[in-house]
């Protein structure tokens, strides 16, 4: 058995557990579109993947949708303005969405590396402890 990855144009990547000898080049996505086979990996790799990696991946998908929503909003707002002021609205292009998604992804990753409240508490406790140990 092995993990096969299929990519749907609308939903991104999806993992399927298949017999290694029986891997079709395309597969029907739940949405009805055709998903294309992109990667195959031994089953072990799937198990070894940690939750953090999965979270990043899920966040990655979310970022794309967020970016798409942002760009679409921007387009609609500008279009409304355009009707009044004659400024051309930026088009909703795949390129613009990808670029915005990269920006959002970077932003969210930076946020993810900031200390959690627990980590801050531990750091604070350590500082206090040091203060207590330091003779006045």
Nearer to Zn ion, 2 or 12 (CB): 12
- Binding status of residue 31 toward Zn ion by CB under 5 A: yes
Site for Zn ion in 43-62 (CB under 5 A): none
The CA distance from 33 to 16, in Å, is 16
What per-residue string of b and e applies to 19-45 under the rule 16 or more CB within 10 Å gives b? eeeeeeeebebeeeeebebeeeeeeee
Rounded least distance, CB 10 to Zn ion, Å: 4
Q: Which of 3, 4, 6, 8 binds Zn ion (CB under 5 A)?
A: 8
Running DSSP on this structure, what letter comes out for residue 28? E
Kindly state the smallest distance separating residue 8's Cβ from Zn ion, in Å. Answer: 3
- DSSP state at residue 17: E
Binding stretches for Zn ion (CB under 5 A): 8, 10-11, 29, 31, 33
């Amino acid at each position: 058995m092995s993990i096969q990855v299929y990519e749907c144009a609308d939903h991104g990547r999806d993992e399927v557990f298949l017999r290694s000898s029986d891997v079709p080049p395309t597969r029907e996505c739940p949405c009805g579109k055709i998903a294309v086979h992109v990667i195959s990996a031994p089953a072990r790799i799937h198990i070894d993947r940690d939750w953090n990696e999965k979270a990043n991946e899920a966040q990655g998908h979310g970022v794309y949708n967020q970016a798409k929503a942002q760009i679409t909003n921007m387009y609609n707002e500008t279009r409304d303005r355009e009707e009044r002021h004659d400024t051309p609205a930026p088009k909703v292009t795949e390129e613009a969405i990808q670029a915005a998604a990269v920006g959002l992804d970077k932003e969210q990753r930076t946020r993810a590396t900031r200390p959690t409240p627990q980590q801050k508490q531990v750091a604070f406790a350590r500082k206090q402890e040091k203060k207590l140990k330091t003779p006045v």
